Structure 1
Amino acid sequence: MNRLMSLAAGAVLGMASLAAQAETVKLAVTDLVGMEELQREFGQFVKVLEEKTGDDIEFYPVTNRTAAVEALRFKKVDFVMTGPAEYVVIKKRTNANIVVGFSRPDYFASVITLSDSPYSNVKSLAGQKVAFGSVGSTSKHLGPMQALADYQLSREDIDEIHTKITVGWESLKRGDVAAVGMNHLNFLKLRDKEAEKEDGLEAGAFRVIARGPDLPNDVLMSGEHVDSAVIDRMRTAFTENSQELIAAILAGDDNKKYTGMKFLTGIQDSDYDYVRSMYATAGYPEYADFIGD
C-alpha cells in the first residue's frame, strides 16, 4: 500500500510540476486573416500542440504580414508561423528565431510556356509579357522571377504582370502572355485539370523552361522575448510527436500543401540567403519591407 501511495504522490507532483511550468502563449499565422480561418486550418494542430507542450496556445489574428512584425516587436504575440519570403523580413526587423521548419516536398518555382509557342527558352522571353502570382509571394512571384534571373534574364527585360494564378493560366492558353511563373505544384494541378476537360489541352501542350531550386522551408518563429524553456518545450513537442502533429496540421484544407512534409529543427538562417537574392532581383535589396503590403 505504501508503494501505491508513493507512486500516486509522485504522479500528483509530476502533474503539479507540469502545471507550474505551463504558460499561455499566442500564435499568429501570416497568410490567414481572422479567427475563423485560424480555427478551421490550425485548430486541430494547436489542440495537439497544447497536449504535448502543456502550454495554453491562443490564436492571435493578424490582418497582414506587417501586423505580425509589429505584434512581435511589441510582444503581443509569441510565435509566428510564416513562409520563407516573410521570414527574411521578420528576422531583419525583429530578430525572431526559428523554432522548427515545415519542409514541403516539390516546393519550387517554375516558369511555363506553351510547347508550340516560340518561347522555348528563358532568353526568348525578352521583351514579352510574363504573368506572375500575387506580389511578394515566395513561390508565385519572387521564386519564378529569381529562376529567370538565374538564366540571366532580369525583370527589366520582360513586361511583368501580376494576377491570380488561374487568370495567368488562362492568359497563357490564349496567348495573351508568353509565360507564367508559379509554384510547381500549382502547375501540376492546373495541367491535370486541363486533361480532365473535354476540350482541355494535353499535358504535352505545356513546357517548363525554367525552375528554381527547392525553396527554403516555412517556419515557426519565436519572438526574442519568449523564454527559452517555452521554446525548448515547443521544439521537443515537434521532435517527439512528429507524425501526430503532421496529421493534425493536414486537417486544414489549405494545409494540404504540407502533404508529405517533415519537421526540421536544424535550419540555419543562411538557408534563406537565396530568398534574400530574390528580394534583390525584385528590386528590394534591403528586404526590410514586405512587397505588396
Structure 2
Amino acid sequence: MKLHSVLAGTALAMIAAVAAQAETWKLAVTDVEGMERLQLEWGPFKEALETATGDTFEFYAVNSRTAAAEALRGETVDFVVSGPAEYVVINKLTNATPIVGLGRPDYHCAIVVRADSGINTVADLEGRTVAFGDIGSTSNMLCPMQVLADHGLDPINDIEVMHTSRNIAHEALKNGDVDALGSNAGSWLNVRNAETDLPYGFFRILARSGDLPNDMIMVGAHVPGDAAAAVQQAIIENKDSIIAGITAHEENDKYVGMDLVEIEDSAYDYVRSMYSNAGYPQFDNFIGD
C-alpha cells in the first residue's frame, strides 16, 4: 500500500513538474482584425503550435500594425505573425526579433507595362505615371519602388506615383491611363490570367525583384531567450503540422507550398533599403497610418 502511495505521489510530482514548465503566451497576427477572424483563419495554426510546444497560446486581437507594436512594447503580447515591412518598423520601435520565417513561394514583385507602350527599359519610365498598391505594402509598393531604384530611377522624384487597388491599376494600365504598374508578381498574374480575351503578349514584365524576405513569427524583447529558442525549435521540428495549420483556411492560400525556416534580423536589410528609397529612411513609422 505504501509502495502504491509512493508511486502515485511520484507520478503526481512529475505531472506537476511538466505543468510548471509549460508557458502561456499571447499571440497576434498583424493583418487580421477581430477575434472572430483570428479564431477562424488562424485557429488551426494556434492548435498546431500548442501541440508542438506544449505551451498555451492565447490570441490577442490587434486592429492595426501600430497596436501590435504598442502591445509588444507594453509586454501584453509575446509573439506576432507579420510581414517584412511591418517587421522593420516594429523591430525599430520594440526590438522584437524574428524567430521563424514563413517562406512564401514565388514571393517577389514586378514592374508591368503594355507591350505596345514603347517602354523598353526602366529608364523609359522617367516622367511617366506608375500605379502602386496599398501604401506601405511590401510587395505592392516598397518592393516595386526598390526595383525602380535598383535600375537607377528615383521612385520619388523621377515618376508620377499613383496608389490604387491591384484590379483598378490593372484596368488603368490596360486602358492606357497609367504607363506602368508595380505589384506582387503572383497576385498580378492571377488578375492577368483572368483576362482570357486579351492576347498573351498584351502586357510585358519590364523588371522584377528577387525573392522577397519572408513573412515571419517574431518574438517580443521581453520574452526570455531560452523560451523563444524552445518555441523556435519546436516549430522547426514540427513544421509539417504547423504548415498544415497555417494553410488550413483559404484566406492563407498565399502560404500554400511554403517552408518554415530559421531567420535572422539581417535578412530584412533589403526591406530597410526599400523604406529609404521610398522616402522613409528612418523606418520608425508605418507608412500610410
TM-score, normalised by the number of residues in structure 2: 0.93
- The equivalent residue for 2:264 is 268
Q: Secondary structure of the residue that 1:209 maps to in structure 2?
A: strand
Say yes or no: does 1:85 pair with 2:81: no
- The equivalent residue for 1:147 is 147
Q: Secondary structure of the residue that 1:213 maps to in structure 2?
A: coil
- The equivalent residue for 1:27 is 27
Q: Secondary structure of the residue that 1:130 maps to in structure 2?
A: strand
- The equivalent residue for 2:212 is 215
1: distance between equivalents of 2:210 and 2:7? 55
Say yes or no: does 1:158 pair with 2:159: yes
- The equivalent residue for 2:235 is 238
- The equivalent residue for 1:98 is 98
Count of residue correspondences = 286
Cα pair distance change 1:152/1:5, threshold 3 Å: farther
Say yes or no: does 1:193 pair with 2:194: yes
Which deviations, in whole Å up to 9, do the C-alpha atoms of 1:152-177 show, x marking residues without a partner? 11121111000111110111111111
- The equivalent residue for 1:279 is 275
Please report how far the alpha carbon of residue 8 of structure 1 lies from its aligned counterpart in structure 2 after TM superposition: 8.5
2: distance between equivalents of 1:114 and 1:5? 81
2: distance between equivalents of 1:221 and 1:203? 41
Cα pair distance change 1:53/1:15, threshold 3 Å: farther
Please report how far the alpha carbon of residue 10 of structure 1 lies from its aligned counterpart in structure 2 after TM superposition: 7.4
Cα pair distance change 1:232/1:8, threshold 3 Å: farther
- Unaligned stretches of 5+ residues in structure 1: none
Say yes or no: does 1:40 pair with 2:40: yes
Q: Residue 178 of structure 2 aligns to which amino acid in structure 1?
A: V
CA contact (8 A) 2:60 2:77 kept: yes
CA contact (8 A) 1:129 1:161 kept: yes
Please report how far the alpha carbon of residue 279 of structure 1 lies from its aligned counterpart in structure 2 after TM superposition: 0.4
Q: Residue 67 of structure 1 aligns to which amino acid in structure 2?
A: A
Q: Residue 30 of structure 1 aligns to which amino acid in structure 2?
A: T
Please report how far the alpha carbon of residue 126 of structure 1 lies from its aligned counterpart in structure 2 after TM superposition: 1.1
Which deviations, in whole Å up to 9, do the C-alpha atoms of 1:197-233 show, x marking residues without a partner? xxx2133211000111111111111111112343133
Which deviations, in whole Å up to 9, do the C-alpha atoms of 1:64-105 show, x marking residues without a partner? 111111111111111111111111111111111211111111
TM-score, normalised by the number of residues in structure 1: 0.92
Which deviations, in whole Å up to 9, do the C-alpha atoms of 1:95-130 show, x marking residues without a partner? 112111111111111010111212222111111111
CA contact (8 A) 1:250 1:256 kept: yes
Q: Secondary structure of the residue that 2:131 maps to in structure 1?
A: strand
CA contact (8 A) 2:144 2:182 kept: yes
Cα pair distance change 1:7/1:176, threshold 3 Å: farther
Q: Alignment partner for residue 256 of structure 1, among 249, 253, 258?
A: 253
Which deviations, in whole Å up to 9, do the C-alpha atoms of 1:19-77 show, x marking residues without a partner? 11112211111111111221121110101111121211111111111111111111111
Cα pair distance change 1:5/1:186, threshold 3 Å: farther
CA contact (8 A) 1:192 1:203 kept: no
Alignment of 1:107-122 (within 5 A): 107-122=107-122
Over the aligned positions, Cα root-mean-square deviation in angstroms equals 2.0
Q: Secondary structure of the residue that 1:177 maps to in structure 2?
A: coil
2: distance between equivalents of 1:10 and 1:97? 40
2: distance between equivalents of 1:172 and 1:13? 69
Q: Residue 239 of structure 2 aligns to which amino acid in structure 1?
A: S
1: distance between equivalents of 2:188 and 2:77? 35
Identity score, percent: 51
Q: Residue 277 of structure 1 aligns to which amino acid in structure 2?
A: S
- The equivalent residue for 1:174 is 175
CA contact (8 A) 2:99 2:264 kept: no
CA contact (8 A) 2:53 2:235 kept: no
CA contact (8 A) 2:130 2:159 kept: yes
